[in-house]
């Protein structure tokens, strides 16, 4: 856990305390090796305890193929991947084989929306787990 005025580590239960933080607004960042960091703006009031809880997540990927009803790959389809416990948006396009892949995203549930000229937009849900690629294929009509 860190902010511009200092840092600390969590105990075995994930609890932390930063003492003697002056009143004001701070960007606090929680991080741990192998996990996605998360930042929040926290306002500290003089003489009071301020609570800021963080949710860290490990990562996985989302990928699949986009084809037409004849199983022909759709090249250049726009793929938007949104959601997760740490709000994430990934925009990508399909390659020459109709494939798309995200970089690492936090573990969680994502909505994947595919659009391509001349086809009806489609959406589906992908559940990303640690170290794996959640596969979600689309057949556009």
Residue 30 within a domain: yes
Q: Give pLDDT tens digits for 23-75.
A: 999 999 999 888 888 999 999 999 999 999 998 889 999 999 999 999 999 99
pTM of the entire predicted model: 0.74
Per-residue pLDDT, averaged over 9-33, amounts to: 94
Give which of 91, 100, 108, 93 is closest to 36, Cα–Cα: 108
Same domain, 86 and 31: no
Contact 64, 124 (CB under 8 A): no
pLDDT of residue 31: 92
Residue 54 within a domain: no
Give which of 46, 47, 37 is closest to 7, Cα–Cα: 37
User: Residue 109: which domain range?
Assistant: 59-140
Token pair of 69 as six digits = 């009803």
pLDDT above 90: percentage of residues in the chain? 90
Same domain, 34 and 87: no
Q: What is the dihedral of CA 70, 109, 89, 81, to 10 degrees?
A: 0
pLDDT of residue 17: 94
Same domain, 70 and 125: yes
Count of the separate structural domains present in the chain? 2
What pLDDT band is residue 85 in, cutting at 50, 70 and 90?
Answer: confident
- Count CB neighbours of 81 within 10 A: 24
Same domain, 102 and 70: yes
- pLDDT exceeds 90 at position 6: yes
**Can you give the CATH number for the domain in which 110 is found?**
2.60.40.10
Helix, strand, coil shares, percent, the chain, to 5: 0, 50, 50
Residue 52 within a domain: no
């Amino acid at each position: 856990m860190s902010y511009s005025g200092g840092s600390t580590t969590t105990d075995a239960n994930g609890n932390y305390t930063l003492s003697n933080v002056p009143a004001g607004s701070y960007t606090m960042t929680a991080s741990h090796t192998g996990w996605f960091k998360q930042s929040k703006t926290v306002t500290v009031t003089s003489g009071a305890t301020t609570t800021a809880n963080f949710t860290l997540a490990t990562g996985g990927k989302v990928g699949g193929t986009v084809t037409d009803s004849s199983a022909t790959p759709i090249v250049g389809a726009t793929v938007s991947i949104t959601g997760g416990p740490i709000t994430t948006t990934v925009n990508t396009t399909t390659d020459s084989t109709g494939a798309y892949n995200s970089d690492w995203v936090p573990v969680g549930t994502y909505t994947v929306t595919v659009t391509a000229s001349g086809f009806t937009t489609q959406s589906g849900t992908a559940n990303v787990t640690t170290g794996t690629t959640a596969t979600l294929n689309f057949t556009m009509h």
